[in-house]
Structure 1
Amino acid sequence: MASTLLLVVVFVFDLIAFALAVAAEQRRTTAKVAQGATYNYCVYDKDIATGLGVGSFVFLFASQALIMVASRCLCCGKALRPSGSRSCAIALFITCWVCFVIAESCLLGASVTNAYHTRYTVELEKPISCEKVRKGVFAAGAAFVVLTGILSEIYYVSYSKANDGQGTYSRDTGITMGNL
């Protein structure tokens, strides 16, 4: 049977990760071109979104780690009972990991890009490019956080259903080496 406490803790972690990712999207660093005496340079505002993105990354990672430890990452431990729940758990396991990798990539990539501030100057006549995160990268991470949260909880419930009950097969399945 699925642990209700684990499901609640994972839901809270995923909710916090989602909220931090949305907040990071709202607080992305912006840049303005400023003019010096003979050169142009970029001026960035506060860098809050990087911390929010990394926080979201950590909470999503913790959530995934809890689910995988509780289910023994599907590959360790005793074999699951043959059923529809086992098939569903396997499919959800793969899908959950794909969504997790995409969410973590979006959050980490956006946080690194947001933290990068160009530190060069150019002459007044030349145009300058101020690096900043594209709009929607943290939001894509937030969307995949939600998807990962939903899939990981359904995976854990399916895994628990397939793990409950009798042994995998009650009859002898091996080749016996008896007298011929």
Structure 2
Amino acid sequence: MAVSISVLVAIISLNLMAFVLAIGAERRRSTARVVPDQYDEYTYCVYDSDASTAYGLSAFGLLLISQTLVNGVTRCLCFGNGLVRGCSRVMSIFFFVFSWVTFLAAEACLIAGSAKNAYHTKYKEIYGGNDLSCETLRKGVFAAGAALTFLSMIASIVYYLVHSKADTGGWLKHENEGLGMTSLENRDHVSAGQFEKL
């Protein structure tokens, strides 16, 4: 199977967009502050924009499309043609597994971060009581998702390139031995001589 430049460009573009969105999600995490109500009877949590959730979910979707594309082209390593034995085959299997591990870990970070960021504390507390805890996403979840997205991109690219090198494309190399042009010419002369004797 030959390497397709368009497939490589698509893989890199999708993963880079997912990486940028994950970084944006980390920078735009929701923050909250405790404020009293207008009658000073209760305090409650006020959250800012949920842009981080949208960024995280967008990165999740782009990374999923990229992984689907890679495994669709290579037929998920299991359903395609046989791979040539040797170093390329071993590396293809290694990077196939590595790309899936980093992909799943990145997706877990992105979806968990998006869900946690979208959660807003619903309860309120009597004004002047104990400090109200406003739950927010911890720092670093989307950053971990971004780092794993980048690793997934590298693993997917290397897997695609090595798989393309190791894929036989359905053709097996056969070596024809023992028959050449001189052998065919000699066979024709022998057949003609035998025919004349008859």
What amino acid maps onto 2:41 in structure 1? Answer: T
The two structures have a TM-score, normalised by structure 1, of 0.91
1:97 aligns with 2:100: yes
Moved over 2 A (4+): 164-171
Cα distance in 2 for residues equivalent to 1:170 and 1:95: 34
RMSD: 1.6
1:88 aligned residue: 91
Gaps of 5+ in 1: 172-180
Cα distance in 2 for residues equivalent to 1:9 and 1:96: 16
Cα distance in 1 for residues equivalent to 2:102 and 2:91: 16
SS of 2:116's equivalent?
A: helix
Q: 2:151 aligns with which of 127, 147, 150?
A: 147
Q: 1:57 aligns with which of 36, 50, 60?
A: 60
What amino acid maps onto 2:162 in structure 1? Answer: S
Deviation of residue 101 (structure 1)?
Answer: 0.5
Deviation of residue 169 (structure 1)?
Answer: 7.4
Cα distance in 1 for residues equivalent to 2:14 and 2:114: 19
Contact 1:79 1:168 (C-alpha < 8 Å) held by counterparts: no
Count of aligned residue pairs for this structure pair = 171
Deviation of residue 131 (structure 1)?
Answer: 1.0
Q: 1:43 aligns with which of 20, 36, 46?
A: 46
1:137 aligned residue: 141
Q: Point out the structure with max Rg over C-alpha.
A: 2
Which string of whole-angstrom CA distances, capped at 9 and with x for unpartnered residues, describes residues 65-105 of structure 1? 00000000000022111121110000001111000010000
Shift of the 132–47 alpha-carbon distance from structure 1 to 2, 3 Å rule, reads same
1:113 aligned residue: 116
Cα distance in 2 for residues equivalent to 1:170 and 1:101: 41
1:150-161 equivalences under 5 Å are 150-161=154-165
What amino acid maps onto 1:88 in structure 2? Answer: M
Cα distance in 1 for residues equivalent to 2:74 and 2:68: 10
